[in-house]
Amino acid sequence: MIDAGYCIYITTVCQGPVPIERNEQGNPVVYATEVEAQRVIAEDTMERLRQFLEGEREFEDAMTVEEYIEFVTVMPDGSIVDAADNHFAAGNW
């Protein structure tokens, strides 16, 4: 079990910063390294660019990267706590 790691976040208007991925148990997905999380964002960006090239998405939408990475502490129940002391458990976000 990972006791710390990295989550991919996005900042929403209503909820502020929140992790964007959940695992099978409903908890935030935690990557062991920052590079792993960066690769996920890069792959998603490449997919959006492919969609633009295929005419499936607007250029501005394809080029906008809103995701960012936060270091988190993983609690024994799989929930996380980030540097701003935000706590995300299964189903509370």
Query: What's residue 91's pLDDT?
Result: 74
Domain range summary for the chain, segments of one domain joined by +: 4-83
More confident residue, 35 or 91: 35
pLDDT tens per residue, range 6-52: 999 999 999 999 999 999 989 999 999 999 999 999 999 999 999 99
Beta strands in the chain (DSSP E): 4-12, 16-19, 68-74, 80-82, 87-88
Closest by CA to 19, choosing from 75, 68, 83, is: 68
CA dist 15 → 20, 34, 40, 74 (Å): 12, 24, 23, 21
Could you tell me the end-to-end alpha-carbon distance of the chain, in angstroms, rounded to an integer?
22
